[in-house]
């Protein structure tokens, strides 16, 4: 990596440690977190990416830092702080169920002022979303970065990645603000159920489009495929049929697959972009834990 080159894709939000309950009742720890997963997939797919977040200075933070380095993420964007780790207890993998332990944890101490000079000018896309936007002072700082990026004419990718913490009424204004700023929004069928309770999927999608009338929306439905909505155009693609090992992280892989496709293959037709996104998600599903596919693995599956 060239010393002075800055990323085209900067991902803001939480990194954490997944403590995953195994079938035999034991627990396995893995570095994770939706936003960090998105960043790691972006880097592994060949796009120069920075993960802008903070992790602890203990063994849990070391694991995330080591995995970030191995993926090729720009190390200047990861901050290490003397605070407890953010932990997700994954009590079920099929479907994923989580309990989060993160009072005053490291992710909340992220400081945007410490990012490298010139990062915003170099970025083409920034990403925000997930639990980070429902967590106290961190949410406010990330909203400020999104507003700044929008003012600078940058594209903003948003994955709400609904979790129970977002049922708090305090989250709603943040969700609506970021949706209105975003140029690209990924949302799953489960996200829509949480964000627009009581609405049918079609009505929930219409409500999201009303909040973000100019945004492109990637709507994912697991094994039922995915849909790209932009202006008056609606494109569908089937999910790739593979032997599924784990669905944890597949949504994050879809998000990164979408944005990396737009930046690395801008000439690619939308239908081909959708097929590529499906292949990225399917490759992730073929591995245990939040797996980050490489470009070579995705191409092999497409071939």
Phi, psi of 164 (to 5 degrees): -60, -30
In a domain, 182, yes or no: no
Give the pair of three-digit tokens for residue 5: 């080159």
Digit-by-digit pLDDT tens for the chain (303 residues) are 445 799 999 999 999 998 988 888 899 888 999 999 999 999 999 999 999 999 999 999 999 999 999 999 999 999 999 999 999 988 876 666 778 898 999 999 999 999 999 999 999 999 999 999 999 899 999 999 999 999 999 999 999 999 988 998 899 999 999 999 999 999 999 999 999 999 999 999 999 999 999 999 999 998 899 999 998 899 999 988 888 887 778 899 999 999 999 999 999 999 999 999 999 999 998 987 788 999 999 999 988
Residue 197: how many CB atoms within 10 A of its CB? Answer: 9
Distance, CA of 77 to CA of 31 (rounded, Å): 17
| Domain residue limits at 112 | 13-116
In a domain, 63, yes or no: yes
In a domain, 300, yes or no: no
User: For residues 138-163, b (16+ Cβ closer than 10 Å) or e, as one string?
Assistant: bbebbbebbeebbeeebbbbbbbbbb
Q: What CATH number did the domain enclosing 111 receive?
A: 3.40.1190.30
Closest Cα to residue 242, out of 286, 275, 274?
286
Indicate the pairing of strand 16-21 with strand 87-93: parallel
Average pLDDT score, the chain: 93
In a domain, 29, yes or no: yes
Q: How many domains does the chain have?
A: 1
pTM value is 0.94
In a domain, 48, yes or no: yes
Please tell me whether the peptide bond between 95 and the residue prior to it is cis, using omega within 30 degrees of 0. yes
In a domain, 76, yes or no: yes
In a domain, 238, yes or no: no
Q: Which residue has the tokens 């190390």?
A: 75
Given a contact cutoff of 8 angstroms between Cβ atoms, the answer to whether 6 and 123 are in contact is yes
What is the DSSP secondary-structure string of the chain?
A: --TT---SEEEES--EEEEEEPTTS-EEEEEE-HHHHHHHHHHHTT--EEEEEEEESSHHHHHHHHHHHHHT--GGGEEEESSPPPEEEEEEETTEEEEEE-TT-GGGG--GGGSPTTHHHH-SEEEEEGGGGGSHHHHHHHHHHHHHHHHTT-EEEEE----GGGGSTTHHHHHHHHHHH-SEEEEEHHHHHHHSTT--HHHHHHHHHHH-TTSEEEEE-GGG-EEEEETTEEEEEPPP----S--TTHHHHHHHHHHHHHHH-TTS-HHHHHHHHHHHHHHHHTSSSS----HHHHHHHH-
Report the pLDDT value the prediction gives residue 2, as an integer from 0 to 100. 43
Distance, CA of 289 to CA of 32 (rounded, Å): 9
Closest Cα to residue 250, out of 217, 224, 215?
224
In a domain, 67, yes or no: yes
Report the pLDDT value the prediction gives residue 94, as an integer from 0 to 100. 66
């Amino acid at each position: 990596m060239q010393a002075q080159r800055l990323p085209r894709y900067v991902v803001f939000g939480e990194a954490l440690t997944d403590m995953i309950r195994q079938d035999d009742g034991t627990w396995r720890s893995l570095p994770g977190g939706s936003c960090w997963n998105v960043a790691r997939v972006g880097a592994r797919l060949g796009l120069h990416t920075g993960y802008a977040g903070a992790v602890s200075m203990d063994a849990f933070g070391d694991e995330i830092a080591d995995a970030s380095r191995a993926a090729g993420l720009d190390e200047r964007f990861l901050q290490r702080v003397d605070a407890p780790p953010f932990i997700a207890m994954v009590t079920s993998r099929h479907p994923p169920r989580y309990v989060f332990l993160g009072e005053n944890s490291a992710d909340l101490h992220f400081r945007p002022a410490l990012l490298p000079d010139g990062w915003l000018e170099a970025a083409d896309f920034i990403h925000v979303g997930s639990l980070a936007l429902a967590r106290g002072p961190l949410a406010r700082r990330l909203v400020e970065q999104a507003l700044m990026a929008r003012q600078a004419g940058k594209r903003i990718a948003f994955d709400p990645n609904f979790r129970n913490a977002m049922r708090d009424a305090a989250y709603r204004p943040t969700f609506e603000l970021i949706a209105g700023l975003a140029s690209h929004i990924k949302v799953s069928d489960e996200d829509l159920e949480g964000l627009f309770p009581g609405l049918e999927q079609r009505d929930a999608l219409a409500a999201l489009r009303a909040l973000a009338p100019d945004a492109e929306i990637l709507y994912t439905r697991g094994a039922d495929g995915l849909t790209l909505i932009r202006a008056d155009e609606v494109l569908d693609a089937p999910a790739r049929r593979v032997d599924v090992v784990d669905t944890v992280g597949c949504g994050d892989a879809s998000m990164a697959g979408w944005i990396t496709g737009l930046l690395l293959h801008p000439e690619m037709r939308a239908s081909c972009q959708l097929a590529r996104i499906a292949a990225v998600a399917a490759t992730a599903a073929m591995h245990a834990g939040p797996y980050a596919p490489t470009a070579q693995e995705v191409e092999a599956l497409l071939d």
